[in-house]
Amino acid sequence: MKKKTKVILDVILLIAVISWIVFLFRYGPEEIINKIGIHNGYLLAFASAFLGGLATVSAVSVYPVIVAFAIGGLDPFILGILAAFGLTFANLVFFYLGLKGYYVARTSSKFQKISTNIIGWINRRPRWLTPILIWAYIGLSPFPNNLLTTSGGLINYPFKKLIIPLFLGNITLMTILSYFSIVGVEIFK
């Protein structure tokens, strides 16, 4: 049953990606932005980032939308910030789920030992290093943020230490993606 469900979800994802590609070839990013308008484009970028951030493999759904909207004429910095808000809100859902997992798993002595070791390792590093590592993972790698945020909740990492580098990393990644999409199109024109 699980294998059948996975196949169905994979097919739906494949159809969605192919539909988006056909849609972009049919209308083009500029025409899409002209039809929906700039403000609606930013709103759709936020919504896409939020919904894509809730997906396990967010690159499949978020990155093509941001690239298309950047190429379509939306400002890469504003696009990056609004997409970062959407991704950050989605990441917080995973942090919350990890935190709920912490409250369930903390009764396990094995989990408690692992969690204590991880937090101890983090605390032995300079205070400035952990936020930079969080920012670098989120902002400079295409890997899913959900892995980091869920793990942060699971080990009960303080929310206030996570949120700023998480948000700044999301801004960095989305802005870089937006900007270099535009640069790439200009180079290949």
User: Whole-angstrom Cα distance, residue 131 to residue 165?
Assistant: 5
- The predicted structure's pLDDT at residue 124: 87
- The predicted structure's pLDDT at residue 129: 92
- The predicted structure's pLDDT at residue 91: 92
Please report the DSSP string for the chain in residue order: -HHHHHHHHHHHHHHHHHHHHHHHHHH-HHHHHHHH-HHHHHHHHHHHHHHHHHSSSHHHHHHHHHHHHHHTT--HHHHHHHHHHHHHHHHHHHHHHHHHHHHHHTT-HHHHHHHHHHHHHHHTS-TTHHHHHHHHHHHH--S-HHHHHHHHHHTT--HHHHHHHHHHHHHHHHHHHHHHHHHHHHHT-
Q: What is the mean pLDDT of each run of 10 residues along the chain (189 residues)?
A: 76 77 76 79 87 66 85 92 94 91 79 80 87 93 85 88 95 95 86
Which pTM was predicted? Answer: 0.79
Q: Which residues contact 108 (CB under 8 A, 6 or more apart)?
A: none
